[in-house]
Structure 1
Amino acid sequence: MKKSITLIILISALVISCKNSEKQEDIIPSKEVLQEQTDLLSTQWMNDIQLNNGSKWETNIETTEGVEKMQELLKAQSTASIDDYHQLANQLNEVKNKVVKECTMKGASHDNLHIWLYPLIEKVSALSKTNDIDEASKIKQSIIDNVNAYTTYFQ
């Protein structure tokens, strides 16, 4: 009987210990998570994108209008809470989906648009998932920088 009780206590202690270590892992981000966050805010894409022999790339009107709509949303949408950031992310995602759907670009201009667009897609996705207000603020600023850089490379 004493062996059974001792065994039950040991198993209970092990289960509690495992649950506590799982919670600890949730609290402390792994190196991979920290690297993803750093990569997310990276401006590396600016080193990868090219101009069209020193000139801006021609885009279709729907793309430019979509970017202008994103700029308006970023200026107008209040972001005082996580819900506000999530709402902004949803609105930006809708505009992005329309831009992608209506894109008629081809060739090098299209390829360079994707270099600009891919990090933006990742940032909007991350903004929709974060539950940390400080992180959301950093992601939003990175989105603003990304969206505003459009006019540096495209017309």
Structure 2
Amino acid sequence: MKHLIFVLGLLTIVGCKDRKTSETTVHSDAVENALEVTDKRHSDDTSNIYGNAWTKDMAMDNGEQWQADVTTNEGVKQLQKTFYAKTTNSLEDYHKLAENLNEDKNYVVKNCTMVGPSHDNLHVWLHPLIEKIAALSKVETVEDASKLKLSIEENINAYSIYFK
């Protein structure tokens, strides 16, 4: 939990473009957090990896969607395209999906030019997705991978609720 709070604080303080070197740290922390949560999956099946509790932390722009920059919207469209194009029947398929989604997520992070409250809310949406993708890359059963895939789908599709 300390890692999660630290990462969220770091993401809020540092802009997307200015944290190319921080991305590796954020990804590593996300992997560690995701693995911790995945290890606890049997005792807490409603964890943030499988659920979407992050939606409670999202805010709207005076009841409207936040304006996202063009590259972020393009990156999220690519995430959706990658997600729906990949058939997942085996553990290897899920791991490959995670690899592909990670590349798309990296594009969003590296090319984001958003600032202010819209940027802050983007990170509320993005951080759980980073954790889920990291967990999917390390998952050990098809059952857990399937649950993570559903959670990732909900996360990716929720983007259009909060951003335009």
Same fold (TM over 0.5): yes
2:94 & 2:60 partners in 1: Cα distance?
A: 32
Count of equivalent residues: 127
Superposition map of 1:126-137 within 5 A = 126-137=135-146
- SS at 1:97 equivalent: helix
Distance 1:90 1:37 in 2: 24
Q: Structure 1: 5+ residue runs without aligned partners?
A: 1-29
Q: Who is 1:82 aligned against? A: 91
CA-atom RMSD in angstroms:
2.1
- Residue 108 of structure 1 pairs with residue 117 of structure 2: yes
Give the 3 Å change call, closer, same or farther, for CA 97–117 of structure 1 in structure 2: same
Greater relative CO (CA pairs within 8 A, separation 6+): 2
Cross-structure match for 1:152: 161
Q: TM-score, normalised by structure 2?
A: 0.73
Distance across 1 between alignment mates of 2:78 and 2:48 = 26
Mark the runs of 5 or more structure 2 residues left unpaired by the alignment: 1-36
1:118 matched residue in structure 2: 127
Distance 2:73 2:148 in 1: 22
Question: Structure 1 runs of 4+ off > 6 angstroms?
Answer: none
Is the Cα contact below 8 Å between 2:54 and 2:128 reproduced in 1?
A: yes
Q: Distance in 2 between matches of 1:55 and 1:125?
A: 31
Q: Distance in 1 between matches of 2:103 and 2:135?
A: 15
1:26 is aligned to none
> Shift of the alpha carbon at 1:42?
2.2
Encode CA deviations 1:20-43: one digit per residue, 9 max, x unaligned: xxxxxxxxxx9x723487231121
2:31 pairs with 1:33: no
